[in-house]
Amino acid sequence: MEIRAVSVDEGRSWREYAEPVMTRPLVAALDAFAESGYDGASIRDIANRAGLSVPGLYHHYPSKQALLAELMTAVMAELLERSRQALASAGDSASERFDAVVESLLRFHMFRREQAFVGASEIRSLAPENRSAYVALRDEQQRMLDEIVRAGVAAGEFGTRFPDDASRAVTTMCVAVATWYRPDGPQSPDEIVERYLAIARSAVGATA
């Protein structure tokens, strides 16, 4: 499947977010899915939002399923790329790597909250082959954090007796930020990162 959404803006830090570069139909589909859900969004509505006729939309995307699959895969690909960049910029200790990946997850689910919300809520709407591709990317993201937490336990940096459960709990906490974060809310992104990093470190039993 071709992914036409740009992952990370060239020359920008993984912490920096500009408006995502997406095709007009994908932007329209994102808005429609976020507002009405996959089942509630019609091809005609998506075409109208994109400023296209229905046949014009089908010229670019053969089905509503194709729009959902490309949108969700592109979103997960961006998250993975940002997490890889965060990991590459971190220090060598498990604690430093953990902080970097958790911060990446948090910032993504704040600054790509609409995309993240659709990704989390519409996995049930993906056709089996598209779901398999999406889940493979999602599992790769989870393994990244799982391996860091296990390494931290082995090195004595984390004290949790349940590293995989703790890792999944941290990911779930970060993903949930997309459901409530608002840019005009009382806490800035940096404040949220600081607070949630403290909670995440507690979840894995960080010793320092």
Does residue 52 sit in the same domain as residue 141? no
Mean pLDDT of 178-182: 93
The number of folded domains in the chain is 2
Q: How many residues comprise the chain?
A: 208
Q: What is the pLDDT confidence band of residue 13, given thresholds at 50, 70 and 90?
A: confident
Determine, yes or no, domain membership for 103: yes
Q: Is 47 exposed, middle or buried (0-12, 13-18, 19+ CB in 10 A)?
A: buried
Query: Any idea what the CATH number is for the domain that residue 188 is in?
Result: 1.10.357.10
Does residue 133 sit in the same domain as residue 144? yes
pLDDT digits (tens, 9 = 90+) for 39-77: 999 999 999 999 999 999 999 999 999 999 999 999 999
Report how far residue 174's alpha carbon sits from residue 107's, in angstroms, rounded to the nearest whole number. Answer: 9
pLDDT digits (tens, 9 = 90+) for 122-137: 999 999 999 999 999 9
Mean pLDDT, all residues of the chain: 92
Determine, yes or no, domain membership for 51: yes
Determine, yes or no, domain membership for 68: yes
Does residue 75 sit in the same domain as residue 40? no
Q: Does residue 9 have a pLDDT over 90?
A: no
Q: Does residue 3 have a pLDDT over 50?
A: no
